[in-house]
Chain A
Amino acid sequence: MSHSAANLLRVEQVVKRFGGFRALDGVSFHLDPGEVLGLVGPNGSGKTTCINVISGLYPPDGGAVMFEGRPIGGMPMHMLARRGINRTFQSPKPFLSLTVRENVEIAAAYGHGPGRAAPDLRALLASLELDGLAERAAGDLNSAQQKTLDLARALATAPRLLLVDELAAGLNPAELLRMAERLRALAADGMALLVVEHLMGFIDRVTDRVIVMNAGKEIFEGTLATATRDPEVIRVFLGGAHG
């Protein structure tokens, strides 16, 4: 494991409490440009909370989040977006009464900071097969399309670090394959990705490395192939709801 301060993202012993409950209980990992890290674990293990802390929705209650060598814990979301961190949401959160095009326009106008080129929005929508829906209200889209719109909005800010939360749920096999290819292509262009997903086939196809979480703690880090042979991982997954 690398401990160089030059990692794009370093999460160090992060704790997040809700009341007395520790949703994150000393989580540490790092991520470099071009790398895709999978985050897996049973329901309630803290995956979404981890994304929420990194993206600035909640400040951490302990530990540190470092981005490009600087602490970002507790920084407001809009500043993090401008610095190059963006995300999707487990239940999609587009601006429902605005059109698909307006949804991405806002992100491109406000979310991309200095030093990053604004993407071509038309090409972006086309690449995500949203171009035919550009003038429709986001509220008219189905749930899978809204998730894709969340992704389009995140990409419109040209992020350096992209956090995706269960993007694959609800996609058909052909769509899953295309989505996996898209995420790989983003990484090939130098973006760092943190991918939370329950579908192991998708994780296998997309990630370089995985972290397995249970009850707010990291119980494994390595390749998915090794994870599936790890006795504690097996115990957690057989005991939990997912396999």
Chain B
Amino acid sequence: MKLRVGDAVLAAAVVALMAVLPSVYSNELLLFNFVMFLTLSQGLNILYGFTGYLPFGYVGFFGAGAYGFAIAVMNYGAGPLPAMLIAAAAAVILALVLMPLLRLSGAYFAIASLAAAQAVYQVISNPALEQVTKGPYGVSLTGVFAPRLSYYVAVGIMAGTFALVVWLRNSRFGLALQAIREDTVSAGMAGVSVVRFRTVAWLLSALVAGLVGGVFAWHISVFYPDTAFDVGISIFATVFTLFGGATTLTGPLLGVAILYGVYNAIGITVPQYFQLIYGTLIVGLVMFLPNGLVSLLTRRGIRVP
């Protein structure tokens, strides 16, 4: 298949923008949060957009990554880069353990994945594990704090994730995943190894969340199980992706730019209005625009990256 140029241009433009912004805008934590959600919603897009599985418990991989990083640093004196590898490994191992969930579908899968994330949270926040995880008291990492470097590593992870989505959108492998999403029986008869392909998508999606969790731990250094396993992270990533439109690169980017933008503009100062607007918006979208904002264009036959 030919690479659609729009995909690569859009991905490169957003990466360049996020790389340049810290030199002109001083609220680095806000920028970091944007990078985090830009990456997480594309990571979720890999699973939901290409295979149709909607993981409400997506934050579980993020939390596993954050704690993988923290445990490597606290208990083994690892440097930040080896600790990032541990973060990635923690999320992928969790995904391997949770593979039986892929036998479920629809709402059952969504809810079971949420329950799994909660179970991991319960283990990590258990006071009995204080020696290893610091339990509910949270972690405070010393010696690795490097906000600039960790910001750029986060941008690098975002770039890698965008590249992955662009590849899925332009490769036979991505097409085969979409075939599985459309009809597993037909996909099998077309020669697609359904179980293996969807496992790959599941692991890639988990890997992205694990890396983001790891770099989050590195960037903020002090956090609690409630932060790293906040279901709000899953909800944000899901809503941003659905709002913009899954399976595209543009959709989740738009979702983050608009919804997370609005959230930061008004949601923090007047959360009650934000929740009202947000709730109304979600209901309206599900009813009138189930394929997200980009479907306003694709419906008219306009190709969207």
Whether A106 is near chain B, meaning CB under 8 Å from some CB there, is yes
Whether A111 is near chain B, meaning CB under 8 Å from some CB there, is yes
Interface residues on A, range: 20 to 34
Whether B192 is near chain A, meaning CB under 8 Å from some CB there, is yes
Whether B194 is near chain A, meaning CB under 8 Å from some CB there, is yes
Docked-complex contact A110 and B182, CB < 8 angstroms: no
The distance from the CB of B251 to the nearest CB of chain A, in whole angstroms, is 14
Bound complex: CA A113 to CA B191 (Å)? 9
Docked-complex contact B191 and A154, CB < 8 angstroms: no
User: Interface digits, B51-86 against A, CB 8 Å rule (1 contact, 0 not)?
Assistant: 000000000000000000000000000000000000
Whether A97 is near chain B, meaning CB under 8 Å from some CB there, is yes
The distance from the CB of B298 to the nearest CB of chain A, in whole angstroms, is 10
Whether B286 is near chain A, meaning CB under 8 Å from some CB there, is no
Q: Which of A67-117 contact B (CB under 8 A)?
A: 76-78, 81-82, 86-87, 89, 93-98, 102, 105-107, 109-113
Docked-complex contact A110 and B192, CB < 8 angstroms: yes
Whether B176 is near chain A, meaning CB under 8 Å from some CB there, is yes
Interface residues on B, range: 10 to 19
Bound complex: CA A75 to CA B238 (Å)? 37
Bound complex: CA A93 to CA B172 (Å)? 20
User: Interface digits, A148-173 against B, CB 8 Å rule (1 contact, 0 not)?
Assistant: 00000110110000000000000000
Docked-complex contact B185 and A98, CB < 8 angstroms: no
Q: Which of B165-200 contact A (CB under 8 A)?
A: 172, 175-176, 178-179, 182-183, 185-194
Docked-complex contact A78 and B175, CB < 8 angstroms: no
Q: Which one of B176, B186, B193 lies within 8 Å of A153 (CB-CB)? A: B186
Docked-complex contact A154 and B178, CB < 8 angstroms: no
Docked-complex contact B182 and A111, CB < 8 angstroms: no
Residues of A within 8 A of B179 (CB): 95, 98, 106
Bound complex: CA A87 to CA B188 (Å)? 11
Q: Which one of A89, A96, A97, A112 lies within 8 Å of B191 (CB-CB)? A: A112
Q: Which one of A76, A97, A113, A153 lies within 8 Å of B190 (CB-CB)? A: A153
User: Interface digits, A49-77 against B, CB 8 Å rule (1 contact, 0 not)?
Assistant: 00000011100000000000000000011
The distance from the CB of A151 to the nearest CB of chain B, in whole angstroms, is 12
Docked-complex contact B186 and A105, CB < 8 angstroms: no
Known: A93-B185, A93-B186. 15 other contacts (CB 8 A): A56-B188, A78-B188, A78-B192, A78-B193, A87-B189, A94-B182, A96-B182, A106-B172, A106-B191, A106-B192, A110-B191, A111-B190, A111-B192, A113-B191, A153-B190
What are 26 A-B residue pairs whose CB atoms fall within 8 Å in the complex?
A: A76-B193, A77-B188, A78-B192, A81-B188, A81-B189, A81-B190, A87-B189, A89-B186, A94-B182, A94-B186, A95-B179, A96-B183, A97-B178, A98-B178, A98-B179, A102-B175, A105-B175, A106-B175, A106-B176, A106-B179, A107-B189, A107-B190, A111-B191, A113-B191, A153-B186, A157-B191
